[in-house]
């Protein structure tokens, strides 16, 4: 548990303290500890972190851009009107919050922060949807709360059309800036 306000997410540094990170899911803990920095160095994914005063990681989110084949399991609404070329997407690969900070809205704030990044990127790069691969059904329920739709319906991949995200963000009040206020600790 941390005692002060938390700053905005920033890129993972090699010196960040990751050893004690525990979100309750071993594979997500291990990925941060063993692969996140290397994946960032090789430009496969970018990992943003929220840290405490000691630079201990309290939450992380890894994302990248990619594409899905038009013929793959892609929702009709995503495919509609598109030529049969690969569909560019913003992929949220992993989002996790340390147990000591769970249920304090940090996950929600972090997700909104990343979604804003995705929408901003889509101003310059053609990105049709935000896609997230939930680790399990529990995680799937978390993303469903934020307008993500599972597709295939019984799978762990969820979709949010970029035009829907952009419309939601346009309608949101400036007060909903995810890290405008410190996270309560």
Cis peptide before 152 (omega within 30 of 0): yes
Q: How many residues does the chain have?
A: 185
Candidate ranges 22-30, 119-127, 161-169, 177-185; the one touching ligand COA (CB under 6 A): 22-30
Q: Which is nearer to ligand COA, 139 or 162 (CB)?
A: 139
Give the CA count within 13 Å in the CB-facing half-sphere of 122. Answer: 23
With CB under 6 A, what is the number of residues at the site for ligand COA?
A: 22
- Interface residue with ligand COA, options 6, 12, 18, 23 (CB under 6 A): 23
Sequence-distant (≥ 6) Cβ neighbours of residue 76 within 8 angstroms: none
63 has catalytic annotation = no
Structural contact between residues 117 and 82, judged by C-beta atoms closer than 8 angstroms: no
Minimum distance, C-beta of residue 84 to ligand COA, in the bound complex (Å): 30
Residue nearest to ligand COA (CB): 107
- CA distances 106 to 19, 57, 109, Å, are 20, 13, 5
Q: Which is nearer to ligand COA, 138 or 176 (CB)?
A: 138
Q: How far is Cα 142 from Cα 84, in angstroms, rounded to an integer?
A: 32
**Which of positions 83-112 make contact with ligand COA (CB under 6 A)?**
94-97, 102-108
Sheet holding 57-68, edge to edge: 10-11, 46-51, 57-68, 87-97, 129-133, 157-161, 149-150
**Which of positions 115-174 make contact with ligand COA (CB under 6 A)?**
134-135, 138-139, 141-142, 145
Q: Which is nearer to ligand COA, 62 or 127 (CB)?
A: 62
Minimum distance, C-beta of residue 185 to ligand COA, in the bound complex (Å): 13
25 contacts ligand COA (rule: CB under 6 A): yes
Catalytic residue numbers? 143
């Amino acid at each position: 548990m941390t005692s002060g306000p938390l700053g905005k997410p920033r890129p993972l540094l090699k010196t960040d303290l990751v050893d004690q990170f525990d979100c309750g899911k071993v594979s997500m803990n291990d990925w941060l500890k063993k692969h996140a920095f290397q994946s960032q160095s090789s430009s496969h994914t970018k990992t943003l972190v929220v840290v405490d005063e000691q630079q201990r990681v309290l939450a992380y989110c890894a994302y990248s851009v990619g594409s899905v084949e038009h013929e793959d399991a892609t929702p009709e609404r995503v495919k509609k009107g598109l030529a049969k070329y690969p569909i560019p997407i913003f992929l949220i690969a992993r989002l996790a919050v340390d147990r000591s900070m769970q249920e304090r809205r940090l996950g929600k704030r972090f997700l909104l922060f990343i979604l804003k990044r995705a929408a901003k990127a889509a101003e310059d790069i053609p990105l049709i949807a935000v896609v997230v691969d939930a680790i399990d059904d529990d995680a799937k329920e978390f993303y469903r709360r934020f307008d993500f739709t599972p597709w295939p319906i019984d799978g762990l991949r969820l979709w949010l059309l970029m035009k829907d995200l952009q419309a939601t963000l346009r309608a949101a009040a400036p007060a909903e800036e995810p890290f405008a206020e410190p996270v309560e600790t």
